[in-house]
Structure 1
């Protein structure tokens, strides 16, 4: 048996395990497998081998080819999870939501630290590190395809004030990257028209949600709040307000 990951169970863990077991059953390879528990409130998951870009992003993580591959990975995940029906009474980690009727259970946290890269051939036939799997499904919850796309683009386009971006993302054309991702994902036209509006709504709601978690849960949530995550969200929202017309034109032209 390969390497395993042992983590403390959370109230949402049984629901997340049901999602991961469904993904395994339908043949989606880009997620960890549930191997069980050890009887001491610890879950055991398979370890997904590969490279995870923690901290400052490496060059391979910011290329157009990576963005295209990530969009297609997210689309494969959505198509695979769309046939999953949560059990009545399923418990999910609380987080920001939109007002749309849920379509599926989304990952809702596709940050660079939750994407595993592996060597593979890209469209040009070059051997490169490309997105292979999504990990850390703790924030998974019923939502829409568009919401999961928005949360992903928040980090990977990125929809953020340049002062808060990774150095390699600071001077990139965000509008062009939004369009590239949506083209590769195959996002419906009506969703493209609403994408920036939903991103703005999410900024407002995630600010409130993270402040609440910092105040009530403490731990890592409080630490992130103390380190300025609220201010970064506010700056991102202001940057989006200032650039929304230009971004929209690039996204839908």
Structure 2
């Protein structure tokens, strides 16, 4: 059974048709990247999958539950991390986690918080207010909060928007660890390198339709054969940036 299955999904806002017959399937325990420019319909699709919007037409299931008729079951099986962190800056990292664990009525919220702080390498920062965290730490805390209750499916809607290169790499590592642990991740992004680093499968959403869907290797085969040229590879700005940071930390 697919973790996520979407067939013939349509959604309009007034006269604007945002999703125009979307079809996709996501296998359990994989990272599925949904690429598209601003306005392509990525966030609308995620909001429908998360039961925050109702589709106009089509069939959508998440872990076998119908998003239209079994919304409570879907919400119990998912977590959504949006483009902006849902962290409360006035609370410490640990207090943020304990709060969510209590809202989910989990036994021993403190133990849940401590385990997630350890898992996301935030134990030393757990007693500090979240307002003092770096961008990468805040995003890791945000993702940790979304994992409370061990949902089998997590939606990450442009999770690295506004982050610096080092923070982006921290989030990438977190996403890889989620998939390695069996969590299904649907990731929306505008960054091609993000999809290339993380995704098992990639779909391109353009003007409300999926225009390509496959592994990175399959998508590359859609292009003409590459012309082989020998050039000296220069380091990218990101390579230089990270190397300088590593030197300073040494």
**TM > 0.5 between the two?**
no
- With the shorter chain as reference, the TM-score category is under 0.3
Task: Return the structure number with greater strand share.
Answer: 2
Give TM-score, length-normalised by structure 1.
Answer: 0.27
Task: Return the structure number with greater helix share.
Answer: 1
Give TM-score, length-normalised by structure 2.
Answer: 0.27
Which of 1 and 2 has greater Rg? Answer: 2
